[in-house]
Amino acid sequence: LKDESNEELNHTFHRINLDNKCPKHNYKLISKKMDLIEAISQAIDDYKIDLVVMGNKGKTSALGVFMGSSTTKTMASVKKCPILAIPMNAEFRVPYEIAFATSYKRHYDAEVLDPLRYMANCCGSAIRIVHINEEEHLDKVQESNLKTLRAYLNPIENSVHWMPNFTSKTQAIQVFLEELGIGMLAMVNYEHSFFGNLLHEPIIKKLAFNIDIPILVIPGTK
């Protein structure tokens, strides 16, 4: 099993080298006999990892059938750094439009939003803040959180969008991504967060959620 693991790692390494000739990039191959989540968490600590990148099983996949169970568990469980899930076989496209899905129920501080800001600055992206209408009006806490969120995102181009409350949140997000030509979906992983609600929707509601863009999941502060 160890030999097979090393062989696959080397195969992946050679494929990356063929596609990417940037001299600034360095690679280290790690093979461990342990639980995936534990191995990733240990590597984050050992190598001061800033971003974990994972692939899914297919070019499109249902959320929660969702990018393969290993990717789903990692995105839900790893809270030490952001997770970027990439659809397998997807061609690289600069995400000039990033959707940030939120309920406005939590206050986002600068530390939480830094990965989103960094990604947008690197790619020259606009950030489209999307909220699903579960209520007729935002309450005072939500309004304050929205104001703070936009202040933190400035001067990055950003705009606020409201989506109707479809039969499922995944359906609402799917429609939004398609209508605006979104290149990346970003969410924050708090307990009872928008991301958590997506994962816990009944499978039948998630089967229509096919996505071929990267998903960035940012851990929330405690």
CA R_g for the chain: 18
Does 40 map to a domain? no
Side-by-side strand order, sheet with 52-55: 52-55, 83-86, 215-219, 184-189, 97-101, 126-132, 158-163
> What pLDDT score was predicted for residue 16?
83
Residue 109: give the domain boundaries: 50-219
Q: Is residue 39 part of a domain?
A: no
Residues 79 and 99: their CA atoms lie apart, in Å, by 21
CB burial of 133-166 (b: ≥16 within 10 Å; e: otherwise) equals: eeeeebeeebeebbebbeebbeebebeeeebeee
Which CATH number characterizes residue 166's domain? 3.40.50.12370
Is 4 a member of any domain?
A: no
Contact 82, 217 (CB under 8 A): yes
Nearest CA-CA partner of 150 in 137, 142, 159, 141: 159
Looking at the structure of the chain, the number of domains it has is 1
Does any domain span residue 198?
Answer: yes
Q: What is the pLDDT of residue 66?
A: 46
Establish if 35 belongs to a structural domain. Answer: no
Q: Is residue 8 part of a domain?
A: no
Cα 166 to Cα 29: distance, rounded to the nearest angstrom: 44
Position 149 scores a pLDDT of 96
Q: Can you tell me the distance from the alpha carbon of 63 to that of 57, in angstroms, rounded to the nearest whole number?
A: 12
User: Average pLDDT for consecutive 10-residue bins of the chain (222 residues)?
Assistant: 83 84 86 91 96 72 53 84 85 94 89 96 98 87 96 97 82 89 92 64 49 88 67
User: Are 96 and 126 in contact, with CB atoms under 8 Å apart?
Assistant: yes
Residue 154: inside a domain, yes or no? yes
Residue 25 belongs to a domain: no
- The DSSP bridge partners found for residue 130 are 101, 161
Tell me: the pLDDT tens digits for 141-162?
Answer: 999 999 999 999 999 999 999 9
Q: What's the confidence (pLDDT) of residue 195?
A: 67
